[in-house]
Amino acid sequence: MKKFFNIFLSLLIVSFVSPLFAATIKWSMPGDSLTLDPHAQNEGPTHMVSRQVYEGLVTHDIGMNIKPQLATSWENTDPETWIFNLREGVKFHDGSDFTADDVLFTAKRAQNVPKSPSGFGTYLKGKEVIKIDSHTIHIKTSKPYPLMPNDIMTVKIISKKHGEGASTADYNSGKAAIGTGPYKFVKWVPGDKIVLKANKDYHGAGRGMPKFDNILFKPIKSGPARIAALLAKDVD
């Protein structure tokens, strides 16, 4: 099972490490993303898309080792306090700066997405996020919590500027789908395709720079149909 999972992760991040494909990589998934709202659905194909557009404070490599992403470092300074130092110079896709205000906004919003059947409140419950300065936050808990980096990794950071007052529909339309990730949202035709384009200003931390100009996600539910599409070179 571990070997299979590592192979799966290798495929999942191929767009960041492989030079073998064309400028557009066509990626088939067994199901469509349920939403482009990174906090509305805690579900596989949705994660596969959202992790290209949005990022967490930390990420993991193919060996499941935790690595810096929007945070450069973190430490457990006392049993109930974690300090996260945020990466400076990171831009959202619209060119606005990433700061601690976006992290605080995300922590609040991710727990309160209307009509979310499988949200991310469980990863933030009992955690108080405090801004120290523009690029430092503290996360306080009521008791020791050694799994903090694992939980925080799961919650993707969104733009306060575009997220205030935004609904899940605003993310699905692309209006609010503004992240810091290696790819920018272009188009979603539900049931047919999702198109992303490379973020040329990506900071590169955690995964390196994008290797493709575009990603085309193509949902194909049937396993044999996906294989047929691969053999026909309709997908990569």
Q: pLDDT (tens digit, 9 = 90+) per residue, 80-122?
A: 999 999 999 999 999 999 999 999 999 999 999 988 888 888 8
Q: Which two tokens stand for residue 9?
A: 């992760």
Distance between CA atoms of residues 115 and 179, nearest Å: 22
pLDDT of residue 22: 55
pTM recorded for the entire structure: 0.87
Angle at 56 between CA 122 and CA 133, to 5 degrees: 100
Report the pLDDT averaged over residues 66-81.
96
Asked if pLDDT for residue 15 goes beyond 60, the answer is no
| Predicted confidence (pLDDT) per residue in 172-222, tens digit | 999 999 999 999 999 999 999 999 999 999 998 877 899 999 999 999 999
> Residue for token digits 């995300």?
106
